[in-house]
Structure 1
C-alpha cells in the first residue's frame, strides 16, 4: 500500500478518483442506453448479451446468479435476445437432464456491435496513446480491482 505524507491531500485525491468513477458510470450508462437504442437491445439485455459474449457458453441459471436477475425476468431477456438473433439456446451435452440448455452468443452478429461502438473504441485508443506501458499496467490493475470491488459489493447487496 502506498503511503502519503499529507493525509488531507490523499483524501482529496481519493475523492477525486471516486467522483471520476461516478461520472464514468453515468457516461457509460448513457452510452449503453443510446447503443441499445441503435441495435434495439434494452439495458439489461445488453448486460446479459455482453456477459454471454465475454464468458462463452453459459447456463441460464449461472447467468441469473451473475446478474442477480430473477429467473422470470431473465427468461424474458433471453427470449428477446434469441428473437433478435443475438443468442441461441442449445441443449447442454454435459447434462443428464434433457431439458438443460446453454446460452451461446451468435458471434457473427458481433460485427454490428463493433460498428456501433467504433467511435468509442477510436476515442479510447486516442486516450490510451497518452500513457506509457507502465502507466497502462497500473490503470488496468486499478480497473480490475475496481471491478472486483464492484462485484463483491453487488454480491453483498444481493445477500
Structure 2
C-alpha cells in the first residue's frame, strides 16, 4: 500500500499528522500486544480487561457496546478472562437474573506495575502543555475515538 493511495489531497501539515497518527496507532498495537503477552492474554482480551477496569462491573452487553465487539465475541473474551483468573461472573445486585463481570482485585494488583512506567511517561509529556492545550488535545482524541467506533460499525455492516 503506497502512501499516495492512502493519503487524500491534504496540506503537508495534515499529511504529517495523518502519518504520525498511523504510526502512533501501529506502535500502540505493538505495545499492547507485548503487554498482553506478558499477561498471558491476547490483545483483544487485554483491551477488554482494560474496559472492565475503567467501567467497573459490566454485563456482556455493556462490554460489547463499550468495545464495539459482538456479544458473541464478548462472551468468548469473558470466558478466556475468567479462565485466566482476571475476572469473575457475579449476580447483578440490582437484577439477580443478570450477570455482571467483575475484576479479580488480586490480579489487578499484579497488572498495575506493567502500566506504571507508561503512565509516568505519559504524564511527563502532558506536563509540557497548558490546560487549554490539553483541552484541545482531549477534544481531538474524543472525536477520533468516536470516529473509530463509527468506522468499526461501517466495516461490520459491509458485505464481505
TM-score interval, smaller chain: 0.7 to 0.9
Map of 1:52-131 to 2, 5 A cutoff?
52-95=52-95, 97=97, 100-131=98-129
| 2:110 counterpart SS class | helix
Runs of 4+ in 1 over 4 A off after TM superposition: none
The 3 A distance-change label for structure 1 pair 147 and 14 is same
Return the TM-score normalized by structure 1. Answer: 0.81
Q: Give the superposition deviation at 1:113.
A: 2.3
Structure 1: 5+ residue stretches without partners: 1-9
Residue 68 of structure 1 contacts residue 158 of structure 1 at CA under 8 Å; is this kept in 2?
no
Distance 2:112 2:146 in 1: 25
Q: Over aligned residues, Cα RMSD in angstroms?
A: 2.1
Aligned to 1:40: 40
Larger RCO: 1 or 2 (CA < 8 Å, sep 6+): 1
Aligned to 2:131: 133
Q: Give the superposition deviation at 1:19.
A: 1.2
| 2:11 counterpart SS class | helix
Structure 2: 5+ residue stretches without partners: 1-9
